[in-house]
Amino acid sequence: QSVVTQPPSASGTPGQRVTISCSGSSSNIGRNTVNWYQQLPGTAPKLLIYSNNQRPSGVPDRFSGSKSGTSASLAISGLQSEDETDYYCAAWDDSLKGWVFGGGTKLTVL
Amino acid sequence: QVQLRQSGPGLVKPSQTLSLTCAISGDSVSSNSAAWHWIRQSPSRGLEWLGRTYYRSKWYRDYAVSVKSRITINPDTSKNQFSLQVNSVTPEDTAVFYCARVSSSGALDVWGQGTTVTVSS
């Protein structure tokens, strides 16, 4: 069981806006910033959002993040077929003294 | 551009030691603003943080509780790399292993290419 919880799946149609949730606790998301990763099959996770809502250089502004309390969300607007893959949230956990990851959400573009 | 290049065997026998290396280019393992991590991913455990090493006037190492008794992460300043050793492996240690960096962004922002390690006789 992951310390941080994500829905196992999400879906949307091209052009639509979808959100993926991430629920944690006071020792991780409640105290620290949240990062989001995109993982294409057979590749390493790629940083998509850091510090709750910051995009690294090169990440399209279709991707955005937010955090409130012990939960966070990733929003993808103008959904494209290439967005169909797995997404993970992560945060540092002060009690475990390590990174904790969500179980991942598989996004399907219908 | 920072790159991490992993190396190590893809097959390890049960009870033996898993050893992987992560070579750094574009940054320094001795950087005072970075930390160097190992993470693994398997269908049963998902993404699991294993540990880190970093330098802040001296070397620090932190390990996940789940593997603390079996794991060692060491920096190698002469080769600008860091390594992972997991002792007494079992088939449950079969996973894709990644090295990664945390920098001023506070996130695991650069990842190695991943190494699939299978524990089997």
Gap from A110 CA to chain B (nearest CA, Å): 25
B109 contact A CB<8A? yes
Coil, strand or helix at A83: helix
End-to-end CA distance of chain B: 39
pLDDT given for residue A101 in this prediction: 98
Q: Which residues of B touch A103 (CB under 8 A)?
A: 46
* Chain A CB within 8 Å of residue B43 CB: no
pLDDT in tens, chain A (110 residues): 678 999 999 999 999 999 999 999 999 999 999 999 999 999 999 999 999 999 999 999 999 999 999 999 999 999 999 999 999 999 999 999 999 999 999 999 99
CB contact at 8 A, A91 and A28: yes
- Which residue, B21, B16, A88, A28, is CA-closest to B4? B21
Q: Would you state the pLDDT for residue A95?
A: 95
pLDDT at A2: 76
* Mean pLDDT of the residues in chain B: 97
Q: Which of B37, B63, B98, B108 to mutate to test the interface with A (most CBs of A within 10 A)?
A: B108
Please check the confidence at residue B15 and state whether its pLDDT lies above 80.
Answer: yes
Residue A1 confidence (pLDDT): 67
Contact A47, B109 (CB under 8 A): yes
Determine what percent of chain B is predicted with pLDDT higher than 70.
100
Burial class (CB in 10 A: 0-12, 13-18, 19+), B39: buried
Structure confidence by residue, pLDDT tens digits, B59-103: 999 999 999 999 999 999 999 999 999 999 999 999 999 999 999
